[in-house]
Structure 1
Amino acid sequence: MATPYRRHTYREVPYLLNSRPGPLHHSPLAFAHRGADPRRENTMGAFRRAVDLGYRYLELDVRTSSDGTLVIFHDEELDRATTGTGKLSEKTWEELAQLRVGAEGEFAEELVRFEDLLTTWDDVHLNVDLKDAESVPEFTRIVEKHQAHDRVLAASFNDARRHRVRRLLSHPVATSGGWVATAMIVLLGPLGMMRRLTGRVAEIDCVQVPISHGRIRVVTPRFVQRCHRAGLQVHVWVVDDPLQMHGLLDMGVDGLMTDDAEALADVMRERSVWPQR
């Protein structure tokens, strides 16, 4: 028998389907981290597989090519995950389109443009990590062009990129806190200083954090409670162990990001919140 999900007052955010009335109201969300298939991360093959499994939230990274194309890719360098070498930012899209993505000798997938993924499904939500400053204007242009404000979340370790996204868009999109905003919640929250963070907290809709950062334990029951009292959801990355998934969900976290698509789907199925689309 699944443990009932702990309810609390959510700040209603269109992107976060568990924050408003509907099938996922007050339920935890499942995110496929880079498509949740490490053999072919951030590729259409990985994303399609996740959607077919029942995922409605895809986490991904974007970088900008030399000719301004917004490309779904994590690393600054191409060497680890593709048949290419050098910096992605120094290649044109035409050059990048000739490369293949994969791991352990299985390089079969093509690189993907962000706009192509955004327009593949109209009911899938994209958690977009903006990896370079140049990605901000192209990201906002594409969101405006397709009026996809309710289907994207702008994430970045760099809080300045999030601020710039907010300034460039005609309508707000969901955002998560960068390192500065999140660190202040982690470090100042236990000292009873959350009220001093009101302005920063009001600018974000969730915190997306690892369980620990170095020796510092980030996700604790009190951290989750503080975020909830401030109206923020807590999404945890990257969690692949089912026992750990259950423990975090019992703690009350609002979403999990995983590289093991089947494992998280099974956990959510046990809790009667699957599929999520």
Structure 2
Amino acid sequence: MNRRTVTAYAHRGYAPDGAENTLAAFRAAVERGFTHLETDVRTSADGVPMVFHDEHVDRVTEGFGRVSELTSGELARLRVAKREPIPTFEQLLEEFPDAHINVDLKDDASVPLIAELITRHEASDRVVVASFSDRRRRRFTHYLAEHGMPPVRVTAGAKLIGAFTLLGLFSRGRFQPWRVLTPLLKSVVALQVPVKQGPIPVVTRAFVERAHEAGREVHVWVVNDAETMRALLDAGVDAIMTDEAGTLIEVFTERGVWPPAGER
């Protein structure tokens, strides 16, 4: 296996103590050798993109309410896992200027804000923008183009991935209906997918081969056990996102793809 073809993403940083999506979690991942970080943003009531996954703050902080209904100052006073503050996306860019960041836009308000921040920090070559919403992803790329900003790589949303997966199930021999999606696939760099959706397997060798035929990468989330990591590497995936940094490092080391090499 070519070690340059596999990327290791630290999902929300590395936080076995629960302090996910904090600067401390990302620092812990970087200290362990991760060059690629995965994160999320939601917009505060006063229009600041905050590094946070959930719609509500209740699960990981002592606070209550929606992120969108709290100001950035109110959010900054909360503590994740009772000790770490919630950072802004700009703080993440500034704190880790050499890291590659995959950011999931969780709301529409973040679209222009993240575009402006990526451009201001000249980070278009190290940020990949993701969203479950294909509409939001298109809005992001259109915003960049309309304002003369450098292009930023984006990943496919749920509808495009769903169509690609389902049409692939009917592909046999010369009958390859998924190819009708080729024009849409050209606008994204990767399909970011779970191993399976409910009882339905998503990441199979055939799925990966179809994506590669279309010139797209396959990134898989969130994989925390060694057996599944090995199976995915055997299937030829391009990236794995994990909460278990130690396990992934062990598997990647035994496969000769650690430490990370090359840029993505």
TM class, shorter-chain normalised?
over 0.9
**Offset, 1:217:** 0.7
Q: Secondary structure at the match of 1:248?
A: helix
Identity of aligned residues (%): 47
Amino acid in the other structure paired with 1:152: V
TM-score, normalization by structure 1 = 0.88
Q: Is structure 2 residue 230 aligned with structure 1 residue 246?
A: yes
**Offset, 1:121:** 2.2
**Offset, 1:236:** 0.6
Aligned to 2:103: 128
Q: Of 39, 44, 63, which aligns to 1:65?
A: 44
For residues 53-72 of structure 1, the C-alpha deviation after alignment (integer angstroms, 9 at most, x for no partner) is 01011100100000001100
Query: Unaligned stretches of 5+ in structure 1?
Result: 6-23
The 1-side partners of 2:199 and 2:245 are apart by: 28
Aligned to 1:97: 76
Aligned to 1:36: 14
The 1-side partners of 2:164 and 2:14 are apart by: 28
Q: Of 139, 158, 170, which aligns to 1:179?
A: 158
Aligned to 1:81: 60
Provide the aligned length of Structure 1 versus Structure 2.
251
The 1-side partners of 2:83 and 2:77 are apart by: 11
**Offset, 1:183:** 0.5
The 1-side partners of 2:210 and 2:69 are apart by: 43
Query: Unaligned stretches of 5+ in structure 2?
Result: 171-175
Amino acid in the other structure paired with 1:50: A
Aligned to 2:191: 207
The 2-side partners of 1:235 and 1:139 are apart by: 22
Q: Secondary structure at the match of 1:67?
A: coil
Q: Of 68, 92, 104, which aligns to 1:117?
A: 92
Contact 1:233 1:253 in 2 (8 A): yes
For residues 40-83 of structure 1, the C-alpha deviation after alignment (integer angstroms, 9 at most, x for no partner) is 11011110000000101110010000000110001111111111
Q: Is structure 2 residue 143 aligned with structure 1 residue 165?
A: no
Aligned to 1:13: none
Q: Secondary structure at the match of 1:129?
A: strand
**Offset, 1:272:** 2.4
The 2-side partners of 1:144 and 1:58 are apart by: 19
Amino acid in the other structure paired with 1:260: E
Amino acid in the other structure paired with 2:118: V
Q: Of 240, 256, 268, which aligns to 2:252?
A: 268
Aligned to 1:19: none
Amino acid in the other structure paired with 2:188: I
Aligned to 2:121: 146
More contact order relative to length (CA 8 Å, sep ≥ 6): 1
Q: 165-174 or 79-88, which moves further after superposition?
A: 165-174
Q: 263-272 or 64-73, which moves further after superposition?
A: 263-272
Q: Secondary structure at the match of 1:97?
A: helix
**CA RMSD in angstroms, aligned pairs only:** 1.2
The 1-side partners of 2:192 and 2:142 are apart by: 22
Contact 1:37 1:261 in 2 (8 A): no
Q: Of 222, 226, 248, which aligns to 2:206?
A: 222
TM-score, normalization by structure 2 = 0.92
Amino acid in the other structure paired with 2:157: G
The 2-side partners of 1:178 and 1:66 are apart by: 25
